[in-house]
Each structure stands twice: as structure tokens, then as C-alpha cells.
Structure 1
């Protein structure tokens, strides 16, 4: 029998309930499982003071970790680390740690408080069925959903190399297509022993409308990022085939409701593709589309995904002009995402299970953390 991850909260709670065991012991077990990571000699009976009925359940049904760290790669500037994680079924997924130092530079014209902090980009699926034409993960096709435990285990592995402060569901897969596991994983991450703030967790989606309509009620306080990438429906459909199922007008209505209920900014992700969606008219169309929103637009330079790619990266002048129109004409807070981890294929749109090349990249001077984008 295949053993389940101890971090599959629904499974362990069901087993404990059936055995009449108080669920308050579960966070204690999780804490020991985290500490035991990389300890091959760990046994469940090393956890003291559990009810006697708990031990046979743990031994027969669960493992501290069902996944393992297959490989770890660091970018040339040591700012980004990519973890290749092997799941129990043999499949591989990727997670990326991005480090920031908030003491560098200023934020909103003021000194930035704090110090170093790390953001973890997690995967929710093996592959992805959305098929976005600019994204390497889409070339894999869809393999399978991750369990909530397999999602949480990415945080456990990453915590061994850096103290994680923020989580972004921007890795492999469409998080809202694995809705139940996403919700359960977030609930585990925001409870003991992890205790991450919901405000420091961001879920990115291409716009799965039915799931957006449920998200705030199921896990209040999360940040929502929408991979919009075009201001009109026809361009979205050309570069994002899944957009045909979620018309732009209905998507914007769902986002209006989400913002009304959550009272939070919505982050709009917009990849800059030369000659496709980066012209001045597109900036004006986007500005008008977001006129009634409290939104932050994050312009993302396109990361090449191989010589066969049909897209090119927008030049700096076009990106700058696009940003100035959104800021100056429409008063929309707009940032340009800095490149991180491109030399280890860990940058946005590059997550696909392969062996990265060894190209060097320039060090990023001042990086904007996801946490700052939602302030």
C-alpha cells in the first residue's frame, strides 16, 4: 500500500477522527516531521507523548515526506535557487526560492525596513493543461495534480535552504485547476507550525472563473494574481487557448466581485511580447479595462523557452513606454519584474523539467518582492 504524506491534512484528520484521537496532536506531528527532514533514522515513535492509538496509524498509513530533493541549483548571483523535487510516483516538479534584501534602495521614496527575506514559488501540478504559448511548462502537457501534502512538502524542502516568508503559487500548473489541494495546502501553511500569514500568500491564475468565485470564502485574505497578458479577448485567445472558456468580460466581473469581497488589490500579470501585446494602444486598452479596479500591474519581460519560440522579448523602450502610459494616464501602479534565475531556467515561464544550461546572467540590482507589490 502506498503511504500518504503526513502533510495531507484531510487524510490524517480523517484517520484520527475515526480512531477518536484529538486533532490537536497533528501540528505537533508536523513539527517533528519538518525537523526530521534529511534524517533517515527518524521513526514515528521518536515523537513523544502521542496517544498510543496514533502510532500504528502513522506507521501503517503515513510517511514524514513522500517526496525527495532530487537536485538543487543556484543562480550565478546566488539570489535564486531551483529545487527539483521527486514525487512518490517518480514524477518531478520544480520549486524556486527567490531571495530579497529589503534594505537595498527605497520603497515609495522611503527607506525600506527589515532585511533579507525569501519567497518560495511552488508548483501545484505536474505539467499544465492551459497550453499558454509563451510558457515552457505548457509544452509538457498535463500529467497529474499534486496532493495538498505534496504542495506543502515543497515548503518543507525549501525551508532547509532558506527561511521562507512569502509563498507564490506561480510554479508548474494552474493552481485553481487543483482547487481542493490548493485550499487544503494553504490552510496547512497558515496554521501551526508554519504560521504563514495569508497576506503573504499569492495565488496566480489564468482566470478560472468558478474557482475565483469561491476562493475568498474558502481561504480569506489571500492575494490574487491574474495572468491577463492581453487587454482584449482575441489576443488572449491567440496566446492563451484556455481564455476561450473564460471570456474577458465575465472574468473582469468575477474579479470585481473578488475585490469587493476581499478589499484587496489584485495583481495583474502581463507578459511583454514584442509586436503582440506591447504597443501603446494595448497600454491604453489595459488602462481602460482596469479603470474601476484597485490593481497593481506587473509587466513581465518574456523569458525565451528555446530556439523554436515564436515570440520575442519586448525592448526596454516599449516596456518603459507601456509603464508610463499606465502610470501617467491612468494612475495605475505598474512595476517591471526583474529577471531572477534565468540561468537555471527558474524564471517566469521557464519552469519545465529539464537540465538547465549554464549561461550566466547579470546580477539584479534592486528587486521588487511580491510582498511589496501588494502593499
Structure 2
């Protein structure tokens, strides 16, 4: 029987483990400290547990920390790490250092069901949900973990489509028994799924970023099929019921495609759509991916959009492009690795 992984278990789940093994209840907090504070890779290193209890634990459990299997480093300091996620499958975590900030983009699924036109991960199709262990391991096992200031659930996959495991991981990140981070250090990015959208808002205090990319429903549906099931107008109406004016930030991600959604007509529609929401817009340059007939807008166009929106009261920024020399688009490195594995089998 495969052993149970400890990394990625909440305190309540660790309490169930020690109870099942006949260990004292306080051992759960000791194990949590070794996992999330001291970040050990072996049960043998949990030295304030008795030898007997360590042996009991080792019989049925393992830490479950796995180092990345590959890395690509950009000239701008961005690093894309590749992690195993089951047999012959991989996910990516991207480290983005930027002056005083150091952000890690974390994956939540192998592949994705959303099939957004501009996303390489969606071209893989859906393969599996990541466990809380596999999500937390991307943070625990990457070399620059002690430099981290921010986490973004914006890697491969749709976080709301794997919400139970994502919420467990977020609990570990923010709880005193875990990493103890402020929710203000964490952002979840979503295309917006009816199932899970409201639940995330009410069960988590982390920031929320909605992938928008077009304020026009028909066009957004072409870019993002999820629009058919839960429209952006429905999302905005729901969001107006919540207060994002204080501790929590609401933002909308807007990839700017040349000749598609880059004119001031779209800026005006954005203003109409988001009127009444306390939010910001992040404009993003498109990273080209194979087989997709979309191009990124030039910086002059990006600046015009930003200036127009900001001058009309909608705070707007341009996200700096990073890692363009290392398969920058989400899902490209893992796709390349999986194709490499297929060729080895032929």
C-alpha cells in the first residue's frame, strides 16, 4: 500500500493520523511544526517525537516532499520549475523576483478543462486535480522558498475546479500551525466558475483575480468557453454583493490581443461593465503559443488603454512581461516534457 503523505495535511487531518496511530494529541502540532516551519524532508528528523512514534509514523506515512525535476532560467531572473504530478505528468511553478517582491505562480491541476483559446495548458486537456500535497510541495520544495513574499494561484489549471484541495492548501499557507502568511500575500486567479465562485469569496480572505480578457460576452465566449456557463455580467453582479474596499483586493486580468480587444471601444465597455466595483485592471501582453492565431498588442496600444481607463476612474496597470525566453506561456514547459516522454516510448 502506498504511504500517506504528511505534507499538505491540515492540522485537523494530522490530528486524525496521530489518533489512528495511538499517539498523543499534541503530536499533531509537533508534526505540523516540522512540516511547515522547519520544512523537514524525513520523519527521522522530527526529533521531539519518540523513536517509537517515529517508527509508527514511518510505517504508514512519508513527508512527501519532492524536488523539481527540471528548471529553466530567464535572463530577467524568472525561473520556471517543473514538478512531477503522478506518473509521466508534470506541472509548473514560476518564480518571479522583482525588487522587493518575490512571487511564485502555483498550479492547481494537471491540464485544464477550460480550453481558453490563448492558453497552452488548455491544449493538454484535463488530466488530474492536484492534491493539497502537490500544491504545497511547489512552495515547500523550490529552492528560493525563503525569499517568497507572494503566492499566486495562477499556474496550470483552474483553481475553482479543484476548490477543496485548493482551500486546504490556502489554510496551510495562512494558518498559525502552517506558514502563517497573511491572506494579503496570496491571490487566486480564476476564469470564474459558478460552482465554487461564491464559496471561495466567503471561505477565504485571499485576493481574487478574475480572468476577463473581453467585456463583450460573445467575444469572451470565443476566447473563453467558460463564459457560456457563468457570464462575466453575472459574475460582476455577484461581486457587487461583497466589500472589496478594505483588506481584500479584487482585480481583473485583461490580456491585450492585437486587433481583437485593444481599441478604446473595448475600454469604454470595460468602464460600463465594472462601474460600481472597487477593483483594478491588470493589462497583460500576450505570450504567443503554437497553433493560435493571436498576437500581442504593442506597448503604445497598451499605454493608451491604461491611460484611458485610469483617467476615467478605473485604476489600471500594465503587468511587466517576464521570462519570454523560457517557454513563458503557462503550460509550455510541461507540454514539451510530456511530448519528450511520448517520443521516448515510440
TM (norm. structure 1) is: 0.82
CA distance in 1, matches of 2:172, 2:224: 32
> Which shifted more, 11-20 or 167-176?
11-20
Of 216, 225, 231, 1:232 maps to 216
Q: 1:91 aligns with which of 89, 95, 100?
A: 89
Q: Would you say the 8 A contact 2:112–2:158 is kept in 1?
A: yes
Distance 2:206 2:239 in 1: 13
With 204-213 and 86-95 compared, the bigger mean Cα shift is at 86-95
Q: Aligned pair in 2 of structure 1 residues 291, 203: CA closer, same or farther (>3 Å)?
A: same
Structure 1 residues 14 and 268, CA, compared in 2 at 3 Å: closer, same or farther?
A: same
Q: CA RMSD in A?
A: 2.3
1:346 counterpart residue number: 328
Counterpart contact for 2:113–2:126, Cα < 8 Å = yes
Q: Distance in 2 between matches of 1:351 and 1:332?
A: 35
Deviations 1:99-130 (A, max 9, x none): 011xxxxxxxxxxxxxx331110000001110
Does residue 55 of structure 1 match 2:70? no
String of CA shifts for 1:304-327, please: whole Å, max 9, x gaps: 012x21111112232222112211
Contact kept? 2:271, 2:314, Cα under 8 Å = yes
Determine the structure 1 residue equivalent to 2:75: 76
Identify the residue that residue 144 of structure 1 maps to in structure 2.
128
Q: Equivalent residue for 1:154?
A: 138
For residue 200 of structure 1, what is the aligned residue in structure 2? Answer: 185
SS at match of 1:149: helix
The alpha-carbon distance between structure 1 residues 247 and 193, as it changes in their structure 2 partners (threshold 3 A), is: closer
Q: Aligned pairs, how many?
A: 332
SS in 1 for 2:215: coil
- After TM superposition, give the deviation of residue 337 of structure 1 in Å: 1.1
Alpha-carbon distance in structure 2 between the residues aligned to 1:183 and 1:232: 31
Aligned to 2:293: 310
* Residues 208-219 of structure 1 aligned to structure 2 (within 5 Å): 208-219=193-204
Q: Work out the CA distance in 1 between the residues paired with 2:331 and 2:47.
A: 45
1:334 is aligned, of 312, 316, 323, to: 316
Query: How many angstroms apart in 2 are the aligned matches of 1:15 and 1:93?
Result: 28
Match of 1:2 in 2: 2
Q: In structure 1, how many angstroms separate the alpha carbons of the residues matched to 2:330 and 2:265? A: 25
* 1:118–1:162 contact (8 Å) kept in structure 2: no
Q: CA deviation at 1:55?
A: 2.4
Gaps of 5+ in 2: 339-346
CA shift in 2, pair 1:348/1:172, >3 Å: closer
Matched residue, 2:256: 272
Match of 1:28 in 2: 33
Aligned to 1:363: none
Q: Which residue of 2 aligns with 1:293?
A: 277
User: SS of the residue aligned with 2:69?
Assistant: strand
Inter-partner Cα distance in structure 2 for 1:142 and 1:258: 32
1:156 deviates by: 0.9
**Which sits farther off after the overlay, 285-294 or 310-319?**
310-319
Equivalent in 17, 30, 40 of residue 15 of structure 1: 17
Deviation at residue 212 of structure 1 after TM alignment: 2.0
Does the 8 Å CA contact 2:193/2:226 hold for their aligned counterparts? no
| Paired position in structure 1 for 2:344 | none
Q: CA deviation at 1:58?
A: 2.4
1:373 is matched with none
User: Which residue pairs with 2:111 in the alignment?
Assistant: 127
Q: In the aligned structure 2, how far is the partner of 1:135 from the partner of 1:336?
A: 19
Instruction: Tell me the alpha carbon deviations over residues 110-154 of structure 1, each in whole angstroms, 9 at most, x when there is no partner.
Output: xxxxxx331110000001110000011111111000000110010
CA 1:57 to 1:91, structure 2 compared with 1: closer, same or farther past 3 Å? farther
